[in-house]
Amino acid sequence: MKIFLVNNLLSKIPIDLNKIREEDLDKEILRIAIIAELDAINLYEQMAAMTKNENLRKILLDIAKEEKTHVGEFLALLLKIDPEQVEELEKGREEIEELLRK
């Protein structure tokens, strides 16, 4: 079962970049980069959970952690160029805070 998940993990680019308006292209590239990094994190963490080799597990988890840094880098840049994304992330945070207070 775990091997099946790994084999079907990698996402396809969800949009045709040739059809994106030029002013939106960098935002879409950053979102695709984030998707790719999240895929890599999932892949490395799944493989780390599967292996019995402790050295391999450590390396895979270390690389997964580096990929999380990459997500942060891409997201930080996206937030600098997409004010709407900033607003929507804040709305999402507020909704979670409200739900967790209930």
Assigned domain for 82 exists: yes
**For all residues of the chain together, what is the average pLDDT?**
88
- The number of domains in the chain is 1
Please give the residue range of the domain that contains residue 75: 2-7+24-101
pLDDT digits (tens, 9 = 90+) for 29-70: 999 999 999 999 999 999 999 999 999 999 999 999 999 999
Q: What is the pTM of this model?
A: 0.81
Assigned domain for 41 exists: yes
Q: Per-residue b/e over 59-82, b at no fewer than 16 CB within 10 Å? A: ebeebbeebeebbeebbeebeeeb
Assigned domain for 87 exists: yes
Assigned domain for 15 exists: no
Assigned domain for 66 exists: yes
Q: Answer yes or no: is pLDDT of 71 > 90.
A: yes
What's the confidence (pLDDT) of residue 11?
A: 63
Q: Answer yes or no: is pLDDT of 13 > 90.
A: no
